[in-house]
Amino acid sequence: MKKAVQIISIALVTMSFGCKPGNNTTTTDVVTANILVNKTVDINQMYQFYYNDPQTLDERQENDIIDYIIDKNLTPTRSITGLYYQITQEGTGERVKPGDQLEVHYTGSFLDGQVFDSSVQRDKSLKFKLGTTGLIQGWLEGLRYMKEGSKMTLIVPSRLAYQGQGFSTMIGPDMPLSFDMELLKLN
């Protein structure tokens, strides 16, 4: 079984990095396949992804994210893209798919705990159609793991967020982000 999971994981990584416009594999296919091989990582296994001597931005961010997860005593699942998510309340029904109309509440923060945005604090949920808005890649993937009524913590490396550009004056370049999210409605 372990060997089968490894083979599937290698195939999915190949698909996700080898897919070019014009072939038949879509981002939807890759995210759907990710759901099948994602692995919940307990705190003792977390350091398998830790770099002893991080050289790149991605390696440093992976270490920062792991430190954050351990400090917060989270037990997330790590997708093959490096996105970490933890469903804190399971919803009902079908998982979110592209084209679904969603209503979510969220609180976004930096890994130091400073909140940069919150629909909860504004008391105004965010409504959008998945796949037709300018969402960060981490949200596009993370929302796909949710069902209506789900609550989730999402930890997003900058390469799946705003990368080197940052966002407005709120989020600097190359910032990993954390989101507490609730899927209020799925139509």
pLDDT confidence band for 40 (50 / 70 / 90): low
Q: What is the pLDDT of residues 79-92, one digit of tens each?
A: 999 999 999 999 99
**Within 13 A of 175's CA, how many CA atoms are on the CB side?**
23
Contacts of 146 (CB under 8 A, 6+ apart): 87, 91, 95, 96, 152, 181, 183
Q: Is 90 in the same domain as 166? A: yes
Residue 74 CA to residue 157 CA, distance in Å, equals: 16
Residue 26 CA to residue 110 CA, distance in Å, equals: 31
Q: What is the pLDDT of residue 45?
A: 76
Q: Is 58 in the same domain as 138? A: yes
Range of the domain at 104: 40-186
Q: What is the pLDDT of residue 13?
A: 37
Q: Is 50 in the same domain as 33? A: no
Q: Is 172 in the same domain as 86? A: yes
Instruction: Report the number of distinct structural domains present in the chain.
Output: 2
Q: Is residue 185 within 8 Å of residue 175, measured between CB atoms?
A: no
Percent of the chain with pLDDT over 90: 70
Q: Is 124 in the same domain as 166? A: yes
Q: What is the pTM of this model?
A: 0.79
Contacts of 31 (CB under 8 A, 6+ apart): 140, 141, 144
22 or 73: which carries more pLDDT confidence? 73
Q: What is the pLDDT of residue 31?
A: 53
Q: Is 81 in the same domain as 164? A: yes
Q: Is 67 in the same domain as 115? A: yes
Task: Quote the DSSP letter at residue 144.
Answer: G
Q: Is 91 in the same domain as 178? A: yes
Q: Is 49 in the same domain as 32? A: no
Helix (H) or strand (E) holding 102, with range, is: strand 101-110
Q: Is 83 in the same domain as 137? A: yes
Q: Is residue 104 within 8 Å of residue 149, measured between CB atoms?
A: no
Query: Of 19-33, 47-61, 69-83, 154-168, which gets the smallest average pLDDT?
Result: 19-33
Q: Is residue 131 within 8 Å of residue 148, measured between CB atoms?
A: no
Residue 136 CA to residue 183 CA, distance in Å, equals: 17
Query: How many Cβ atoms from other residues are within 10 Å of residue 81's Cβ?
Result: 20
Percent of the chain with pLDDT over 70: 76
Query: Of 45-49, 78-82, 132-136, 163-167, which gets the smallest average pLDDT?
Result: 45-49
Q: What is the pLDDT of residue 181?
A: 98
Quote the mean pLDDT of the chain: 84
Q: What is the pLDDT of residues 114-139, one digit of tens each?
A: 999 999 999 999 999 998 778 999 99
Residues carrying an active site annotation: 106, 116-117, 136, 162, 179
CATH number for the domain spanning 173: value is: 3.10.50.40
Q: Is 124 in the same domain as 89? A: yes
Q: Is 31 in the same domain as 45? A: no
Q: What is the pLDDT of residues 65-80, one digit of tens each?
A: 999 999 999 999 999 9
